[in-house]
Each structure stands twice: as C-alpha cells, then as structure tokens.
Amino acid sequence: MAHTNLKRITITVPEVLLFEAEQLNPDKRSRILQEALRVYVRHLRRERLRREAEKLDRDEEIELAESALAAGNEVWDKY
C-alpha cells in the first residue's frame, strides 16, 4: 500500500510491547504500528456504530421501512 502523505510522530510505548513488535519484524516497526492504528480506528468506528444502532427503536424502524416500501410500490405500479 503506497502512502503519499506520511506524518512523522513521536509516541511512547511500553518497552516490552516495542520488543514484541520488533520480534515479529524488526525492519517494519512503522508498518506494524500503522496497521495496529488502522485496526484500532476500525474498531472504534464499529463501536460507535454499534452504540448508535442501540439507540434505534426496532419497531419504529420496521414501521418506517414498511411504509416507505408501500409508498414505493404505489409509485412503481404506475409505470
């Protein structure tokens, strides 16, 4: 994966965690951290979506979907 806009940052990590990452692939420390951040961001997005979905009223959503489907069927029947 080509990265054109990379930003250099300084982070602090536990020494043991850095050691474990370097054992996996000593020449790819940045790539390991990039992938870990990518996975974590995806996780946060899924958690946000899950929390928002929990706020929905299932019965109300079903009713809205059914009324939209019925309205759509009325319009398409004309054609």
pLDDT of amino acid 34: 92
| Amino acid at position 45, single letter | R
- Dihedral over Cα of 45, 50, 54, 58: its sign: positive
| Amino acid at position 55, single letter | K
Residues of the chain falling short of pLDDT 50: none
Threshold 0.85, pTM exceeds: no
In the chain, pLDDT over 70 holds for what percent of residues?
87
The 10 Å Cβ neighbour count of residue 21 is 17
Q: Bin 8: left if φ > 0, else alpha if -120 < ψ < 50, else beta.
A: beta
Place of tokens 């759509």: 72
Identify the three-state secondary structure at position 4. Answer: coil
